Structure 1
Amino acid sequence: MKTIKIDSEFIKLDQFLKLANIAMSGGEAKVLVMSEEIKVNGEISTQRGKKLKSGDIVEFNNDKFLIK
């Protein structure tokens, strides 16, 4: 599991995907989310504006990312 540190109270899912180098652009992040390829805390997320906080876990292609 990889740890990604954020400097604010929360980060939106599409911004996180770019920060973690899962998506190279906002458009790519949107496609990944709408294609139901992203899980947040074990559940598929289709909200690209979903607020992620410290302790949340994002999954993509069997990779897990812990937000700190």
Structure 2
Amino acid sequence: MSQQLPIKTEYITLGQLLKEVGAIDTGGMAKWYLAEHEVFVNDELEQRRGKKLYPGDRVRLGDGEGIHVVSQT
């Protein structure tokens, strides 16, 4: 399953994305989530909650959910 996440800014951090898609409830949970679950950004394992994601980036969560970051125009 894949979804699009439109952003209005130049980029969004991985922690913000996790909150937006409902994987975590608060930004503070991002560090825990990344330690407990595999998260891939553009098919590379990522553990930095501050990783900047730009339109065109693809994120895959450990449960198989895919998110495609797109620019909101």
Identity rate, percent: 34
Structure 1 unmatched runs, 5+? none
Q: What TM-score, normalized to structure 2?
A: 0.84
- Counterpart in the other structure of 1:27: 28
Instruction: Kindly report which structure 2 residues correspond to 1:1-68, keeping only aligned pairs within 5 A, or say none.
Output: 1-60=2-61, 61-68=63-70
For residue 6 of structure 1, report the CA deviation from its aligned partner.
0.6
Rg comparison, structure with higher value: 2
Root-mean-square deviation over aligned CA pairs: 1.2
Write the letter of the residue equivalent to 1:67. V
Structure 2 unmatched runs, 5+? none
CA distance in 1, matches of 2:6, 2:55: 8
Alignment: residue pair count: 68
Write the letter of the residue equivalent to 1:29. A
Deviations 1:42-63 (A, max 9, x none): 1110111000000101111111
Runs of 4+ in 1 over 4 A off after TM superposition: none
Q: Secondary structure at the match of 1:22?
A: coil
